Structure formats: structure tokens, C-alpha cells
Amino acid sequence: MTSAPSPAGCSIPQPFVPGPPAADRSQPDPEELMSRDEIEALQFERLRWTLHYAYENVDAYRELFDDHGVHPRDFQQLEDLRLFPYTDKEFLRKAYPFKSFAVDMADIRRIHASSGTTGQPTVVAYTENDLQVWGTLVARCFRNSGIKPGDKVHNAYGYGLFTGGLGAHYGAERLGCAVIPMSGGQTEKQVQMIRDFEPQAILCTPTYLLTIADGFKAMGLDPRKTSLRTAVLGAEPWTEEMRREIEQTFNIDACDIYGLSEVMGPGVAGESVATKAGSHIWEDHFRPEIIDPFTDEVLETGQHGELVFTSLTKEALPIIRYRTHDLTRLLPGNDLPGHRRMGRITGRSDDMIILRGVNLFPSQIEELALQVPTLSPHFMLEITRPNRMDQMTVTIERRDDASVEDATAGGKKLQQEIKTKIGSSCTITIAEPGTLARSSGKLRRVYDLRDGGK
């Protein structure tokens, strides 16, 4: 196994080499059970290593630190992380394709990339050690969410450059599961495989699981009568109302999993099936912060803001103070007291809709829509600016068992709730079941046409 060298001037050894899976894979790793003090002591050592390692091995980090007048030796306590500058997608895009890597290409075992729909793709890479760590952390997430060694796992995350499919795949295998690599799309075949192979768990985005439910119903089948007992869902924000909808539709437990390609991929944090109260961040491998997205000030535990991550053990692509743009808050750990939890993602700082001076997120519309029995979870928002005045149209499908009249009444109720709870006026359009776009990946909810956008 390749081991990253200690950076010049830094005597700290490579911080983590995962061993083989425990004989009893249903049991937690020792690091999961560490106290908060033990976690922070470990974070200090690993942060010290990471800062020196990135500075010595990645020109972009050395230039960034030098420009801000800071050096890794300035890190003397955990709070000193605040001395170092933030990074973001643009930082990685400037290094496209491989200038952000800290190891030679001979030591790289896999390369992934973002879709690049809003600019140059961001490229991420993994050493053999990175892949072992990744699989270990995803396995932790799955085990805590209720998946057991020996389970059959239906993986409907997309395979390819997107990190979701392969990240979930190798994590489930490391846990000791049999993986069904279905990938996304082909909804009818998804239904067939679930019926024929009888998996105990399914992995996908929450909105795509509802699309699979529609596939069951279209074939005259009851999605509550399957072998599934657990769903681990991620790659897009979803609400507690969406969780209830999914759990009632399939008669299963649904848990969140969090990650993003630049930080690792899926498995940065995962939710416990015992509490379903936010995802524990694996703080033996990542140091999270919450900042004010407008002032960049670091906020205290419990305050809402933008999530920022620093990696502690990554070899190929160290990440330092990476701005995710995801809006949430940090909470004390419960099931695993040493590892803090993150609350639900309420939106993204770069996806916030400003409508006539009111800030809103698609998740707020979802939360209100799912409280109206005649309306489905499938909706889209269209923002226009006729006559110099912003207007929002919410197009939402009626449920199969709701009449057009009842759904129209439900739409009027939703319109009132949006005005009362969010403070925005809007128009509601009721669509027929199955007519709005579905996605097996991240679902696009918002179409902002104010400046000629599509």
C-alpha cells in the first residue's frame, strides 16, 4: 500500500492507514467510540500533518498560504485553523485537471470529476489508502443507518465520474454486503430487480426513490410489500416531511448520508437509524466549521450558516477550509458523543432564491407541499420577471387518488401557506401525475428565467 511521505520540515508520520475490516463487521470502529477530547487531540495532530503536507506538495496551496501571510507552523492549536484561507470550487478549477494533486500520478488509483454544468469540472483523485478510508467511512454510515453485513444492497446511485455510485458500492462491500450495481434510470427494471432479487436496502436520491415508488404503482404493485427495510438517501437536500413520505410509501426506515466529491464523496457523515436526528460527521477524518456565508465569520455550535470542511487524512487531494455552500448547523453528538452532528441541509448559499427581497429555498416549498394531502412531492419552481416584477410559479403534480378539484383546492392552500410562512406571493399550477421531469441523480427544482436563463 502506498503511504504518503511526511512533508519536508514536518516530522509527523502519515496519519492513518486503515486495517482490514474487523472480523465482526457489525461492530463500530474504535474511532467511532472516542470521546470529544480524544477526537480533538487526534484532529490537532492530523491537521498539523495536513497543513504541512498540502503546503509542501501542492503549489496552489503554497501560493495561497504565502499570499495570505500564513505558514503551517503558525498552527499551534485547533483554533488556529481560522488563520488559514478558505478554498472553493474555483480554487480547484484553476488547478484543472491535475495540478491540485499532492502525489505522483503513479500513486493515483482513481479519478472522479464533477459534471461541470456551471463551469470547468472539478477533478478529484484517490490513492489506494484514500480508497480504503473512503470505503471504511461509507461502511460506517451504512451500518449506523441499519444495513447489516450479509444484506443485499440495491445501489441506484449513478456510476461513472459522479462519486455516488462507486463510493456507495465499495462501502457496502467493505461492510460485508452483496451489492446489486443497478445504477440510475430504467425505473421499470429497478422495480423488477427489487422484486426478483429481494434486497434489504436501497441506495439512491430521495426524489428518485419516490420515482421508483411511482414505478411500482404504475405496474399495479404495492411498494409497501417489498423486501426493503432500509433506505440510505443523499446527494440532494430533503426534509423531514419527505422522510415521512418515503417511510410511509415503502414501510421502511430512511436515513440521510452526506458527502461531496471535493471532500471525499458520500460517507463524510451519516445518520443513525436509532435517532434519525442528523448525520454524525466522521471527525477523525474531517474537521467541520460553520461560517457566516456573508461575513466569513466562524460561528458557534448550534448556529446556522455555511458548512466548511478540512480533510485530515487525504493523500491525493488534501482539502483545507473548503466552502461547501451547504447551509446547516453543527450539533453535539448523541449516539456517538465524540463526533458532532450536522442538521438537515436547508439549502445552498449559491442556490438561494431572492424573490422581491424575500430569501427562500426549494426545501421550504417541499416542506409545505408535503403537508397538503392532495399534492405530490413532485414539483418545480419557475422564476420570471414580466413587467419588471419578479414572479414565481410553482408547478406541482396532484396525487393519483386526488381529483382535479381537490388538488386545485390544495394548490390554493399551498399558495396561502407560502405567503404566510415564507412571505412570497406565487402562482400555483396543478400538473397531472407523472408529467413533471424525474431524475435518477440530483433533481433540478428551480428554473430562473429572469435574465433569459433556461
pLDDT for 8: 47
Residue 153 has pLDDT above 60, yes or no: yes
pLDDT at 15 over 70: no
From residue 335, how far is each of 278, 279, 297, 302 by CA, in Å?
11, 10, 29, 17
Instruction: Please give the Cα distance from 336 to 313 (Å, whole number).
Output: 20
Does the pLDDT at position 4 exceed 60? Answer: no
How far apart are the C-alpha atoms of 304 and 292, rounded to whole Å? 8
Distance CA 83, CA 70 (A): 7
Distance CA 100, CA 119 (A): 17
Residue 365 pLDDT > 80, yes or no?
A: yes
When pLDDT is averaged across residues 402-426 and rounded to a whole number, the result is 94
Q: What gap in Å lies between CA 246 and CA 106, rounded to an integer? A: 44
Give the pLDDT band of residue 347 (cuts 50, 70, 90).
confident
Q: Residue 423: its pLDDT value, please?
A: 87
How high is the pLDDT of residue 119? 63
If you ran DSSP here, which 8-state letter would residue 184 be given?
S
Query: Which of 72-76, 266-270, 345-349, 353-357 shows the lowest per-residue confidence on average (mean pLDDT)?
Result: 353-357
Position 115 scores a pLDDT of: 65
Q: Which three cell numbers stand for residue 442?
A: 440530483
pLDDT tops 80 at residue 352 = no
pLDDT of residue 14: 63
The pLDDT score that the predictor gives to residue 17 is 74
Q: What pLDDT digit, counting tens, does each position of 213-254 carry? A: 999 999 999 999 999 999 999 998 899 999 999 999 999 999
Nearest to 425 by CA among 390, 376, 454, 397: 390
In single-letter form, the type of residue at position 195 comes to R
pLDDT, residue 1, reads 36
Mean pLDDT across 331-350: 91
pLDDT of residue 12: 46
User: Do you know the residue count of the chain?
Assistant: 454
- CA-CA distances (angstroms) from residue 327 to 323, 347, 356, 381? 10, 5, 21, 20
Q: What is the DSSP letter of 31?
A: G
Lowest pLDDT segment from 113-117, 275-279, 323-327, 340-344? 113-117
Q: Does position 7 have pLDDT exceeding 70, yes or no?
A: no
Residue 454 has pLDDT above 70, yes or no: no
Lowest mean pLDDT among 247-261, 310-324, 434-448: 434-448
The beta-strand segments (E) located in 117-209 are 123-127, 152-155, 178-180, 201-204
Q: Do residues 422 and 360 touch, judged by C-beta distance below 8 A? A: yes
**Residue 149 reports pLDDT greater than 50:** yes
Q: What's the confidence (pLDDT) of residue 280?
A: 98
Which residue(s) pair with 394 in the sheet?
381, 428
Above 50 in pLDDT, residue 385? yes
Instruction: Give the chain's mean pLDDT.
Output: 92
Highest mean pLDDT pick, 6-10, 234-238, 306-310, 438-442: 306-310
- The residue ranking higher by pLDDT, 116 or 150, is 150
Residues 162, 258 contacting (CB under 8 angstroms):
no
283 φ/ψ angles, rounded to the nearest 5 degrees: -80, 0
Asked which of 90-99, 135-144, 203-212, 382-391 is least confident by mean pLDDT, the reply is 382-391
pLDDT band at 437 (very low <50, low <70, confident <90, very high): confident
Question: Does position 9 have pLDDT exceeding 50, yes or no?
Answer: no
Section 103-127 average pLDDT: 86
Of the pLDDT bands very low, low, confident and very high (cuts 50, 70, 90), residue 452 is: low
